[in-house]
Amino acid sequence: MEDVSGTVIRFESGGLAVVVDSNGGILGRWESEVKVILPGLTADFVDANRAVCYHTGGPWLSQTEVQSVGDVYLAETLDLLGAIEEDRPPAVPIMEGVRSLRLALAATESAMQDMPVDIVV
């Protein structure tokens, strides 16, 4: 496929994250999967409004589903506009966006250099 990316992120703590995306599998649709695996919990983020959490820390497997029907992208935009109009901080500090941008730029640099890069976010 011509538009597929994969990034492995190693955290200072020793944890790993793998991010894989493509918009080439289904025409007009961006495929993205987010899964978090921790001791005692695996969470599948199905989309921006739904996650299924599998609790694996006890003797019995259980699961919890978290779901919202709101448009999270609209809510994010309205919060930013409200912060500007009301001269208040947004719900998510701009520094979080800066960290995300640094991570994306580091992933791009790593791909272009074909080697790992270190960053501090």
Q: What is the pLDDT of residues 31-44, one digit of tens each?
A: 667 888 888 889 99
Lowest mean pLDDT: which of 24-28, 55-59, 65-69?
24-28
pLDDT at position 39, please? 85
Contact assessment for residue 57 and residue 47, using Cβ atoms and an 8 Å cutoff: no
pLDDT at position 1, please? 44
- Percent of the chain residues past pLDDT 90, beyond the cut: 40
Helices (H), ranges, the chain: 72-86, 94-113
